[in-house]
Chains A and B, each alone.
Chain A
Amino acid sequence: MAFVDDLGAALDKTPGGGIILTSLDAVMDWSRGKSLWMMPMGTACCAMELIAASFSRFDFDRHGSIPRPDPRHCDVMVVAGTITRKMAPAVQRLYDQMPDPKWVIAMGNCAVSGGIFYYDTYSVVRGVDEFLPVDVYIAGCPPRPESLQDAILRLREQVSTDSIAPGKSRALKSDLPAPGSPRKGEPSTPGGDAG
């Protein structure tokens, strides 16, 4: 039985059989990990690879990861692409609309750190982790669909260690930077960074 195999050590059979003893956590984590529905927050180039990943060649449906455009259906937000300062409030709002427990995958260099748009530009948020708690980072510009596959499988491992006990849901790490405030990697005094 696949269910018993997957749960492994968390599952115990009583002598004589017939009764399965397990913790609610183990069952919940097992079922959550097998159907991580994605909120495809595709803004730029990486969105193309995100689409490619869910189509016939790479076929993410077999992992139970189905892209759903509605945040209320989703477990994991895949931020694929550059997040600009204009877009960031919308991303934050969509994240807030997702039901707990929720996870975030930062796909591609732009979502990780700003990538190629780290320097010399005034409009790009330097990494989605400035305002969202990111669980898995994927490097690449853009990453291959296989990398996203790896990220989903790693996230599944992480999900299997979570608890469903109340009070364990995570708070946001930081708020959005206010316009004009010093950004990550910039000195607080103007004129110090020659670029």
Chain B
Amino acid sequence: MTEQTIVNIGPSHPSTHGVCRVVVTLDGEIVTHAEPIIGHLHRGIEKMAENRTYLQVVPLTDRLDYVGSMYANWAYCRAVERLAGIRVPERAEYIRVIVCELQRIASHMMGIGSTGADTGAFTAFMYAFAQRDHVVELFEALCGARLTYNYVRPGGVSMDLPEGWVEKCRAFTAQHPSAMLELDRLLFGNVIARARLKGVGVLSAEDAVAWGASGPTARGSGVDWDLRRDDPYSVYPRFDFQVPLGENGDSYDRARIRLWECVESCKIIDQALDQLEPGLVKAEGLPRLLAPRPGDAYDHIESARGSLGVYLVSDGTPRPYRMKVRSPAFCNLALLPLLAEGHTLSDLVVILGSLDPVFGEVDR
């Protein structure tokens, strides 16, 4: 064994996908220990929520997982609805499903694209981002914002679908699966990307469960767990879709099942658009200032990164007494020391990318 070297990656490093700092202990080029140091984007959102009314917290949740803002919006709103006993109109539930599946595509395009960039296939990032731009354009037509939507509100959504939006959405889902096949050949058929991803950072199914991993990270290891199907919420039981699973639990499987999830999301969106009926998009008779009875509520949804939960405690005032976010990105990032050990420094970057962390959500 040679002398140990300590290398500091980040907090500003293009491969950390945000502001993560990783202190890596190296034996030659082999990682013996990798310690992620988080908190560089800690903005105190959970504490801020205690000083906001229930409606004012929604914009804060946008900034948690900024690659998938709709998810945090929805998870928070579900917790509030459970706390206050609000019934959401059916059309609003359908719209929520549609926007969240679109958001899954947008988020996964970022995840797959950055995997491409990490493995030297930057062209794939360009192709993925072109798809993401279409989704962002749809969201802009929907609520005026490209990134921080503030669209899902307690009791429904902020406004109905604009005229012509359904057709635009259908046009997107019609071309998206073929674009994914193209991206699959471009990135996962690339011999260099395969060599960089296959067998790197193998996560066993037992470890995935034991470390609390969820989402594509767990499903890449063959853990058949998707809240949309296994703890059905909203109108998901009405849709027919598959849950893609990996076999080996390496970075290749983790990254590639994201691609098939996008294709499945297109199926869900199409079915939801077919079943969409006119109606209210927000519950009627909601007070301007929500003040739920004292109590607590937890609700979770399947975000692009995994099981995203929000725990709320109410003391009867119009502001939450406590908000806690169960962030999937945080739990998945905790796997990094386990996965990186024994791999080279350049593989560490690929492993970190395949976990697809978003540091707004990790640090909160």
Please give the residue numbers on chain A whose beta carbons come within 8 Å of chain B beta carbons, in ascending order. 40-41, 43-45, 47-49, 51-52, 55-57, 69, 81-82, 84, 86-87, 90-91, 94, 116-117, 119-124, 141-142, 144, 195
B139 CB to nearest chain A CB (Å): 12
Q: Which of B11, B47, B67, B129 contacts A121 (CB 8 A)?
A: B47
Please give the residue numbers on chain B whose beta carbons come within 8 Å of chain A beta carbons, in ascending order. 11-14, 18-19, 39-45, 47-48, 51-52, 59-60, 63, 66-67, 110, 125-126, 129-130, 132-133, 136, 146-148, 359-360
- Of all chain A residues, the one with the shortest Cβ separation from B39 is A86
8 A-B contact pairs sorted by A residue (CB < 8 Å):
A57-B129, A57-B130, A84-B42, A87-B40, A120-B52, A121-B45, A123-B43, A124-B44
Given contacts A51-B129, A117-B43, A122-B47, contact A41 B12 (CB under 8 A): yes
Q: Shortest 10 CB-CB distances between A and B: which pairs?
A: A45-B66, A121-B44, A69-B14, A120-B51, A87-B40, A120-B48, A55-B129, A43-B19, A57-B133, A90-B11
A157 CB to nearest chain B CB (Å): 26
CA distance A86 to B147 in the complex (A): 25
A188 CB to nearest chain B CB (Å): 22
- Of all chain A residues, the one with the shortest Cβ separation from B140 is A144
CA distance A62 to B57 in the complex (A): 40
Q: Which residues of B contact A142 (CB under 8 A)?
A: 146-148
Contact A69 B13 (CB under 8 A): yes
A193 CB to nearest chain B CB (Å): 13
Given contacts A84-B42, A142-B147, A142-B148, contact A44 B63 (CB under 8 A): yes
**Known A43-B359, A123-B43; further 18 A-B contacts with Cβ < 8 A:** A40-B14, A43-B19, A44-B359, A45-B63, A48-B66, A48-B67, A48-B147, A51-B129, A52-B133, A55-B126, A56-B130, A57-B133, A69-B14, A82-B43, A84-B41, A121-B48, A124-B44, A142-B148
Q: Which of A45, A69, A120 contacts B148 (CB 8 A)?
A: A45
Q: Which residues of B contact A90 (CB under 8 A)?
A: 11-12, 40
Q: Which residues of B contact A43 (CB under 8 A)?
A: 18-19, 40-41, 359
A154 CB to nearest chain B CB (Å): 21
Q: Which of B11, B13, B41, B136 contacts A82 (CB 8 A)?
A: B41
Q: Which residues of A contact B12 (CB under 8 A)?
A: 41, 69, 90-91, 94
Contact B146 A144 (CB under 8 A): yes
A41 CB to nearest chain B CB (Å): 7
Contact A44 B360 (CB under 8 A): yes
- Of all chain B residues, the one with the shortest Cβ separation from A88 is B40
Q: Which residues of B contact A87 (CB under 8 A)?
A: 11, 19, 40-41
A164 CB to nearest chain B CB (Å): 28
- Of all chain A residues, the one with the shortest Cβ separation from B15 is A69
Given contacts A51-B129, A86-B42, A87-B19, contact A116 B147 (CB under 8 A): no
Q: Which residues of B contact A57 (CB under 8 A)?
A: 129-130, 133
Given contacts A57-B130, A120-B47, contact A86 B40 (CB under 8 A): yes
A113 CB to nearest chain B CB (Å): 14
CA distance A112 to B359 in the complex (A): 20
Q: Which residues of A contact B19 (CB under 8 A)?
A: 43, 87
CA distance A59 to B60 in the complex (A): 30
Q: Which residues of A contact B52 (CB under 8 A)?
A: 120
Q: Which of A56, A84, A120 contacts B40 (CB 8 A)?
A: A84
Q: Which residues of B contact A47 (CB under 8 A)?
A: 18
Q: Which residues of A contact B18 (CB under 8 A)?
A: 43, 47
A72 CB to nearest chain B CB (Å): 13
CA distance A81 to B359 in the complex (A): 12
Q: Which residues of A contact B136 (CB under 8 A)?
A: 52
B170 CB to nearest chain A CB (Å): 22
Q: Which residues of B contact A41 (CB under 8 A)?
A: 12
Q: Which residues of B contact A55 (CB under 8 A)?
A: 125-126, 129-130, 133
CA distance A90 to B47 in the complex (A): 25
CA distance A48 to B359 in the complex (A): 12
B107 CB to nearest chain A CB (Å): 10
